[in-house]
């Protein structure tokens, strides 16, 4: 099996992460769940996103066994695999170290869903997972717990996880988390941000899931 389309999508997303300023150099990582749980396609460890070719990507099974690829997989493979095992709805995972969101992760405060797009795509505030060392199963377990049923979470003193029903959505989650963190910090300089009610956030999430874009109104 060569899974060419998925490999191209993943490589393209890696370049977008760099272009959007969500990662520096080789940090961060991306994965896609292959159809019918045939495996998880993941970025190699420590390679420049602009130098990754399809043959550099690694395919793992959900337990972490290498099914395809010669490279060492991402050092955060446990994080990706644990999310896929716990969240059947998740088809892609993007992990970034973007600065504004990481500022919240450093003070260990959730990013409030202050604006419509974040409330819609994440499904509420972006919570902070308990601290654990990078690359550990403990980090993965804390991330899954804090993610709960939502689409984004912060890793304490570390960075951001965005998940999606496809890779485009997972990338958008990371992008909107960073944008909202920036808005939150700027808004604090101007005054006290007015928070949206839980009910309003729920309505926005439902609207996104069922009526957003070109979906037919029912």
Catalytic residues, which ones?
Answer: 76
Residue 53 Cβ vs Zn ion, minimum distance, rounded to whole Å: 23
Cα separation, 121 vs 119, in Å, equals: 6
Residue 121 Cβ vs Zn ion, minimum distance, rounded to whole Å: 21
Strand partners, 73: 44
The span of 2-10, 104-112, 125-133, 151-159 binding Zn ion (CB under 5 A) equals 151-159
> Please, which residue, 90 or 105, has the CB nearer to Zn ion?
105
Kindly list the distances between the CA atom of residue 143 and the CA atoms of 140, 151, 174, 182, in Å, as whole numbers in the listed order.
5, 11, 15, 22
Cα separation, 152 vs 146, in Å, equals: 9
The span of 83-91, 153-161, 183-191, 200-208 binding Zn ion (CB under 5 A) equals 153-161
Q: Which residues contact 61 (CB under 8 A, 6 or more apart)?
A: 39, 40, 67
Per-residue contact string for residues 155-174; x = within reach of Zn ion by CB under 5 A: ----x---------------
> Please, which residue, 74 or 120, has the CB nearer to Zn ion?
74
> Please, which residue, 112 or 159, has the CB nearer to Zn ion?
159
Residue nearest Zn ion, Cβ-based: 159
User: 123: left (phi > 0), else alpha (psi -120 to 50), else beta?
Assistant: left
φ and ψ of 79, to 5 deg: -60, -50
Size, binding site for Zn ion by CB under 5 A: 1
> Please, which residue, 77 or 87, has the CB nearer to Zn ion?
77
Q: Which residues bind Zn ion (CB under 5 A)?
A: 159
């Amino acid at each position: 099996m060569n899974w060419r389309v998925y490999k191209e999508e993943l490589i393209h997303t890696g370049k977008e992460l760099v272009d959007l300023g969500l990662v520096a150099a080789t940090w961060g990582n991306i994965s896609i769940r292959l159809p019918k749980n045939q495996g998880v396609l993941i970025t190699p460890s420590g390679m420049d996103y602009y130098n990754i070719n399809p043959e550099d990507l690694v395919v793992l099974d959900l337990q972490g066994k290498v099914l395809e690829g010669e490279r060492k997989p991402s050092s955060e493979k446990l994080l990706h695999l644990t999310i896929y095992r716990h969240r059947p709805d998740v088809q892609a995972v993007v992990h970034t170290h973007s600065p504004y969101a990481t500022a919240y992760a450093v003070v260990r405060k959730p990013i409030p869903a202050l604006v419509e797009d974040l409330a819609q795509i994440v499904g509420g505030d972006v919570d902070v997972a308990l601290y654990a060392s990078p690359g550990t199963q403990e980090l993965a377990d804390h991330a899954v717990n804090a993610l709960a049923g939502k689409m984004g979470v912060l890793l304490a003193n570390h960075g951001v996880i965005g998940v999606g029903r496809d890779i485009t959505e997972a990338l958008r989650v990371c992008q909107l988390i960073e944008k909202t963190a920036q808005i939150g910090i700027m808004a604090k300089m101007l005054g006290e941000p007015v928070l949206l009610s839980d009910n309003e956030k729920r309505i926005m999430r439902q609207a996104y899931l069922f009526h957003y874009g070109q979906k037919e109104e029912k």
